[in-house]
Amino acid sequence: MRWLRENWLDALIFLLIALVAAGIVLYLTGVNPFARPQAAPLPAPQGSPLPPPAQASPQPAPKEVKPPEPVVTVMPLPRAPEEPPSKPAEASPPKLQQAAPPKEKAPQNPPSGSPGSYRVAVGAFANPENAAQLERELAQKGYPARLEASGSLTRVVVGPYASEAEARRAAEALSAYGAQVYRGQGAPPPKEGSVYLQVGAFQKEANALALAGRLREMGLPVVLVKDGVYRVRVGPVSPEEKEAVRSRIAALGLPALEVP
């Protein structure tokens, strides 16, 4: 006992080591000292074997409950009132229509002249550039100005007007240019047998004036005619001079179309 009292700590350690070793051995052998003993199974009673438990049938999934639809009450429409049978319309006696007296036709005044036959001659120029400048100024002021050939001159004309009175008012407004009213479709024709040779027709006035300047430098009588486009013409040319003038124009590489 004296040794135990003096070496109790060593004995305690030895005891713990022995317990741990015993536990390891029991664990390896599969023995659990702490497990409770299981009760022996009861013997099954002799007799008919019990039927296997019935398998529960799968229950159908609950259906979605739809909310009840609102009840709509249809009110009967009232019947339309029946119309009384219409009485046959009494035939009214035919009215005698009086014939209207024939209307007297108003006396028609004889026409004073064909419409659009009055024009106002404002000026005539040997240089087509001066005529084109005056025509441009009159057009900017609102006058229906145009260019016509008058012999070897280019004439500036305003019109046509439907009546002589309108042409007279335009001539009074343009009296500073020495305007004169005349009646007709255009300038008087050149001398018998004389013709014009048209060299070109241009949309732009500058192109027509440039060609007219080249022809005037050659000593040819040049006129401008404006009827939607600017037409450059040489003339009037007599039958004797026609071929010679045509050859001079062809030398410039330009066509010469004979026009009345």
Q: Report pLDDT for 66.
A: 56
Task: Kindly report, residue by residue over 191-240, the tens digit of the pLDDT.
Answer: 666 889 999 999 999 999 999 999 999 999 999 999 889 999 998 988 89
Whether residue 120 contacts residue 181, with contact meaning beta carbons closer than 8 Å, is answered with yes
Q: Is the dihedral of CA 43, 48, 49, 50 positive or negative?
A: negative
pLDDT at 11 over 60: yes
Q: Report pLDDT for 185.
A: 63
Give the residue-averaged pLDDT of 112-127: 78
Q: Name the CA radius of gyration of the chain, rounded.
A: 65
Amino acid in position 5: R
Helix/strand/coil (H/E/C) assignment for every residue in 28-44: HHCCCCCCCCCCCCCCC
Q: Report pLDDT for 260.
A: 76
Give the residue from 180, 186, 155 showing the smallest Cα distance to 167: 180
pLDDT > 90: percent of the chain = 39
Rounded distance between C-alpha atoms, residue 81 and residue 21, angstroms: 117
Q: Report pLDDT for 205.
A: 92
Task: Kindly report, residue by residue over 46-77, the tens digit of the pLDDT.
Answer: 554 555 555 545 555 555 555 555 544 444 44
pLDDT at 98 over 90: no
Q: Report pLDDT for 42.
A: 55
Q: Is there a shared CATH topology between the 118-183 domain and the 195-259 domain?
A: yes
Q: Report pLDDT for 190.
A: 59
| Segment among 22-36, 73-87, 137-151 with least mean pLDDT | 73-87
Q: Report pLDDT for 27.
A: 80
Q: Report pLDDT for 235.
A: 87
Pick the CATH number of 118-183 from 3.30.70.1070, 3.40.50.1820, 3.50.30.10, 3.40.50.170: 3.30.70.1070
Quickly name the fold that domain 195-259 has: Alpha-Beta Plaits (3.30.70)
Q: Which residue has the higher pLDDT, 8 or 74?
A: 8
Q: Which residue has the higher pLDDT, 252 or 55?
A: 252
Give the residue-averaged pLDDT of 150-162: 91
What's the mean pLDDT when you consider all of the chain?
A: 75
pLDDT at 178 over 60: yes
Q: Report pLDDT for 81.
A: 44
Whole-number Cα distances in Å, 7 to 2, 20, 21: 8, 20, 21
Domain ranges of the chain: 118-183, 195-259
pLDDT at 161 over 70: yes
Q: What is the pTM of this model?
A: 0.52
Q: Report pLDDT for 36.
A: 64
Task: Kindly report, residue by residue over 74-97, the tens digit of the pLDDT.
Answer: 444 445 445 444 444 444 444 444
